[in-house]
Structure 1
Amino acid sequence: MILPAAGSGSRVGGETPKQYLPLLGKPVLWHSIRAFSRLEGCVEVVVAVNPAWQAVAEECGAGIANLTYVAGGDQRQDSIANALQGMRTTPDLILVHDAARPCVSPGLIQRVAAAAAAHGAAIPVLPIPETVKRVDSSGAIVATIPRGELRTAQTPQGFRRPLLLSAYSHAKQQGIVGTDDSLLVEMLGHQVQTVDGELTNLKITYAQDVKKAEGILAEGIVG
């Protein structure tokens, strides 16, 4: 299990990265770590952190035995590459999850893991309810995009370990930078399976998202 947590979270505002914002009295990262470390079958959680926030990250993982910290990189992809190199175990499956998604449910994690075991790679997705427009540099609408086959991607994204390692090796050799891990696997020509995501599995991007996450966790409506 890999949690990239080295980002600056600049869209949230303020100087505190979003993964360290307080959520029900604990940092967001605290909740994300425990969503995975408590699951049966999770042999290791690797957290990629900015060295400037190492002490705070270690406090988030206090008392958890199967936890490893590695230095994050300049980009998310660099952080995950460092995490892959720093893993102390060799699990059959590796899940990669945004540290800023603290409301992930056990059911979603299990669905992704099962699909990844069966297909080699799997990610959770959600349909797009709004109409999608393509615009030009001036802001004028160029086209309306049929959304029937479009989905937004979430995490955790799951992969058989050899496949993810191959994808990262290939990306490094070819200079590929992906917006998520499944894209790197796609670039190998390997099909990625999807499973139903969850609306409650929100990513904290803006300050108001913290309030939403607090409501989800406080009411126990994860999933």
Structure 2
Amino acid sequence: MQQISQGYWIVIPAAGFGSRFGQEKPKQYWSLHGKTILEHTLNLFVEQPWVKQIIVAVAESDPYFKQLSLTHHKIKWVVGGETRSQSVMNALTYLPLSAQNDWVLVHDAARACLDERDLYALLELRDDTVGGILASPAADTLKKVDGKNQIVQTINRNEIWLAQTPQMFRVHLLKKALEKAKASDYTITDEASAIEYLGYTPCVVEAQFPNPKLTYAADLKYVEFLLSGKLMEDVLL
């Protein structure tokens, strides 16, 4: 892999319970191949030499995080919020003032299959004035449906991309965007939407490899399969 001279911060919002997962514990603490999903996710970044620190935002009442043996000096944790944006803001607030012009990558705790080649492709945005996200173009025909589950419109899929993470922006810009969204009571679902609300246009970097987010229990088999491939690659290397 190419050499990255700059330092980057990683934020992992992990304070959500994941109600759609439908299991007794949050999805980020579900174990596959002997490690929790969160541990697999942290392993994506912890040995990268360009990562300064990884900030994990967990729920204040979280009984699981402290049970993990996370001893690496790069991993720190903060109390998260009731929403993703609050958790990300709490993590950004933890960073030192000297980091305000640095890049931060926000990555889903339950997105453990990120391929390193896509990660490095995203880092190519380091000379961009705004930053951007990993995403994939929509492959299926898209239908807009009303409350009665009836199709009301077919949407041009050529204009639609499916957002993924990491999402990479300057620390000070993302903080400003999240603050404005909160002050305006504007609902955001990812960091890019906050940057857009601030008036900027983030870039998209097309993901070349599977990067699914564990959302439903039915996703476990697919995630387990992808992780088994990554673990095999690690053994071969």
What is the TM-score when the length of structure 1 is the normalising length? 0.92
Aligned pairs (5 A) from 1:53-132: 53=62, 56-60=64-68, 62-88=70-96, 90=99, 92-132=102-142
Amino acid at match of 1:42: V
In structure 2, distance between residues paired with 1:76 and 1:58? 20
Residue number in structure 1 paired with 2:19: 10
Structure 1 stretches of at least 4 aligned residues deviating more than 3 Å after TM superposition: 58-61
Residue 80 of structure 1 aligns to a residue in which SS? helix
Structure 1 residue 198 displacement after superposition: 4.0
* Unaligned runs of at least 5 residues, structure 1: none
- Structure 1 stretch displaced more, 35-44 or 207-216: 207-216
Aligned pairs (5 A) from 1:1-223: 1-53=10-62, 56-60=64-68, 62-88=70-96, 90=99, 92-220=102-230
Q: Deviations over 1:87-135 (max 9, x none)?
A: 2572610000000001112222222222144232210111111111111
Distance 1:31 1:134, change over 3 A: same
Residue number in structure 1 paired with 2:3: none
Give the alignment's Cα RMSD to 1 decimal: 1.8
In structure 2, distance between residues paired with 1:60 and 1:109? 25
In structure 1, distance between residues paired with 2:84 and 2:90? 10
User: For the Cα contact (< 8 Å) 1:29–1:60, is it kept in 2?
Assistant: no
Amino acid at match of 1:217: L
Amino acid at match of 1:219: G
Identity of aligned residues (%): 35
Residue 158 of structure 2 aligns to a residue in which SS? coil
Structure 1 residue 61 displacement after superposition: 5.5
Amino acid at match of 2:57: A
Structure 1 residue 83 displacement after superposition: 0.9
In structure 2, distance between residues paired with 1:126 and 1:92? 26
Q: Deviations over 1:158-179 (max 9, x none)?
A: 0012211211121122222201
Amino acid at match of 1:130: D
Query: In the comparison of the two structures, how many residue pairs are matched?
Result: 221
User: For the Cα contact (< 8 Å) 1:111–1:195, is it kept in 2?
Assistant: yes
Residue 148 of structure 1 aligns to a residue in which SS? helix
User: For the Cα contact (< 8 Å) 2:78–2:94, is it kept in 1?
Assistant: yes
What is the TM-score when the length of structure 2 is the normalising length? 0.87
Amino acid at match of 2:28: Q
Amino acid at match of 1:34: N
User: For the Cα contact (< 8 Å) 1:61–1:67, is it kept in 2?
Assistant: no
User: For the Cα contact (< 8 Å) 2:85–2:188, is it kept in 1?
Assistant: yes
